[in-house]
Amino acid sequence: MTATANAPIGKSAIGKKQDQLPTMALIGLFFAGFVGVLTEVLPAGLLPEMSHTLHSSIAATGQTVTLYAVATAIAAVPLNRLTSNWTRKSVVQVALLSVTLANLLTGLSSNYWLTLATRVLAGLSTALIWPSLAGYAARLSPERKQGRAITIAMAGIPVSLAFGIPLATAVTSFTGWQVAFYGSAVLTVLVMLWMYFTLPNLPGLPMDQRHKFSQVLVMPGVRVILLTLAGFMVAHYMMYTYITDFLNLAGMEGQAGWVLFVFGVTSVLSVFVVGMFIDRHLRKLVVASTVLLAVCALVMAVVTGLPVVIYLAAATWGLVYGSSATLFMAAIIKASGPAAQVGQSMVTLVFSISIALGGLFGGVVVDVLNTESIMWVALGLLAAASLLAIGGKKHAFPATK
Q: Determine contact, residues 46/65, Cβ cutoff 8 Å.
A: no
In this prediction, residue 401 carries a pLDDT of: 66
pLDDT at 320 over 80: yes
Identify which of 161, 160, 162, 184 has the alpha carbon closest to the alpha carbon of residue 172: 184
Task: Determine contact, residues 243/300, Cβ cutoff 8 Å.
Answer: no
Residues whose CB falls within 8 Å of the CB of residue 38, separated by 6 or more in sequence, listed in order: 160, 164, 165, 168, 184, 187
Residue type, 286: V
8, 9, 10, 12 alpha-carbon torsion, rounded to 10°: 50
Kindly report the number of other CB atoms within 10 A of residue 302's CB atom: 12
CB distance 128 to 92 below 8 Å: yes
What DSSP assignment string belongs to 109-171?
Answer: ---HHHHHHHHHHHHHHHHHHHHHHHHHHHHHS-GGGHHHHHHHHHTHHHHIIIIIHHHHHHH
What integer pLDDT is reported at residue 206 of this predicted model? 67
In 337-372, which residue ranges form alpha helices assigned H by DSSP? Answer: 340-368
Position 6 confidence tier, pLDDT thresholds 50, 70, 90: very low
* Structural domains of the chain in order of their starting residue, each with its CATH number: 23-208 (1.20.1250.20), 213-391 (1.20.1250.20)
The pLDDT tens digits of the residues spanning 375-394 come to: 999 999 999 999 999 999 99
In residues, how long is the chain? Answer: 401
- Confidence bin at 356 (pLDDT 50/70/90): confident
pTM above 0.75, yes or no: yes
User: What pLDDT digit, counting tens, does each position of 177-219 carry?
Assistant: 999 999 999 999 999 999 999 999 988 766 556 778 888 899 9
Predicted confidence at residue 385, as pLDDT, reads 97
The answer to whether residue 17 scores a pLDDT higher than 50 is: no
5 burial class (0-12, 13-18, 19+ CB within 10 angstroms)? exposed
178-198 vs 165-175: helix crossing angle, rounded to 10: 130
Dist CA 102 CA 94 (whole Å): 12
Residue range 115-135: average pLDDT?
Answer: 91
**How far apart, in whole angstroms, are the C-alpha atoms of residue 322 and residue 293?**
12
pLDDT band at 35 (very low <50, low <70, confident <90, very high): very high
Write down the pLDDT at residue 7: 38
The CB density around residue 110, as the number of other CB atoms within 10 Å, is 10
Using DSSP's 3-state secondary structure scheme, residue 213 falls into helix
Quick: pLDDT tens for 327-355.
999 899 899 888 888 888 899 889 888 88
Alpha-carbon distance 43 to 345, whole Å?
24
Return the closest-CA partner of residue 24 out of 204, 197, 151: 197
